[in-house]
Amino acid sequence: MNIHEYQAKQIFRDHDLPAPPGRVTRDADEASEIAADYGGRVVVKAQVHTGGRGKAGGVKLADDPEEAREAADAILGMDIKGLTVRKVLVTPAVDIESEAYAGIVMDRSRDRPVFMVSPEGGMDIETVAEEKPEAIFRQPIDPAYGLLPHQATTLAYRLYDEPKLAKEAAGILGKLWKAYRGSDATMVEINPLVRTPDDELRAIDAKMNLDDNALFRHPDLEEMRDVEAEDDSERKAREAGLSYIKLDGDVGCCVNGAGLAMATMDLVKYYGGDPANFLDIGGSSSPDKVVSALEIITDDPSVSSILFNIFGGITRCDDVANGIVEATSRLDLDVPITIRLTGTNEEEALEILRDNGFEAMSDMDEAVQRAVEAAG
């Protein structure tokens, strides 16, 4: 789950990290009131689930409340990388001497989190990685031990030569690790970590991604979910109890069981097609789930063929068949559907489907080939 900068900064402050205060609003007039409350220079910042807001014009400095109003007015409603800005953060401006980078990502190839720091902060870390890879320092972390003090010190000296600043930075890295670990995050980033002219360190940007599978342990963090900012189909799927991930292809896949869903996607590829999604409708699927699944798949305009692949164990094939019939009668579909069902109540299911004019079969290879052909 993605959270906004203002929420990540709240988690930072809860862990005693030096993130400046701030308030969020959807209203330009209120933005100017907040600016007046803080007094002095503020920054007005788009709250959307993406980086690169600065470059897109979504981060503006304002010297007085009137400028803050104008900045908020310009930013609210703005489109940043396809996302509409609905909220802005108003926060006291920090003077910048230099910008550094500090972050932790889960590195699946190493099976552990990796700490990354760079004195070249401010820009995308991906850009630094491309243009100046020697400016990024990495430290894999053994999750059993956490960030060890000597690792924190070594990383901190990559950022600052002066012992006083390095010591301060080492403390920040330690707290950043605790924030990451304590929230079950998969990514956390301070970019930039700012050194002020007075040699103070401030986290003026914050990005965090939380592990969906651990959210049940963090009801307070789950509350940070911004339904408005989430992908429509992924939200629908979550609410319907389906696992759905949108992909770039055109063969919409509706499968029961994650393993079979993966195998189906492999086979679609094997026969020259491209899956439009991963979708697992789960074990004992009700007709309602099938309806939701079809709605989600057909909401995606690139889908030009739909493939059902159902292995009936606990799931009854006739339930799924009834769901398909019901859903298609409600939905007015013009996309061809290919259905493969096998297992519990297979015969009944095939009969229901054929009676209703569907192409249904029990062979997986055959079904996948037809679905790929139908996508053209």
The residues of the shown chain that bind ligand GDP, judged by CB under 6 A, are 43, 45, 51-54, 59, 93-94, 96, 99, 122, 191-192, 204-205
Among ligand GDP, Mn ion, none, partner that 249 touches (CB below 5 to 8 angstroms by kind): none
Q: Give the CA count within 13 Å in the CB-facing half-sphere of 164.
A: 5
- Whether residue 183 contacts residue 112, with contact meaning beta carbons closer than 8 Å, is answered with no
Q: Which is nearer to ligand GDP, 96 or 114 (CB)?
A: 96
Among Mn ion, ligand GDP, none, partner that 40 touches (CB below 5 to 8 angstroms by kind): none
Query: In DSSP terms, which residues pair with 91 in a beta bridge?
Result: 43
Say which of 6, 38, 101, 180 is annotated catalytic.
Answer: 101
- Among 186, 191, 322, 338, interactor with Mn ion by CB under 5 A: 191
189 is catalytic: yes
101 is catalytic: yes
Closest C-alpha among 55, 45, 78 to residue 205: 45
CB of 190 to ligand GDP, least distance (A): 9
Say which of 99, 189, 244, 346 is annotated catalytic.
Answer: 189
CB of 184 to ligand GDP, least distance (A): 23
CA torsion, ordered 226, 232, 237, 240, to nearest 10 deg: 80
CA distance 142 to 120: 26
CB of 189 to ligand GDP, least distance (A): 9
Structure-block tokens of residue 333: 């579909």
| Footprint on residues 199-228 left by Mn ion (CB under 5 A) | 205
- Whether residue 375 contacts residue 352, with contact meaning beta carbons closer than 8 Å, is answered with no
CA distance 132 to 114: 19
CA distance 294 to 182: 38
Candidates 85-93, 137-145, 189-197, 236-244 — which segment interacts with Mn ion by CB under 5 A?
189-197
| Residues forming the active site | 101, 189
Given the rule CB under 5 A, which residues bind Mn ion?
191, 205
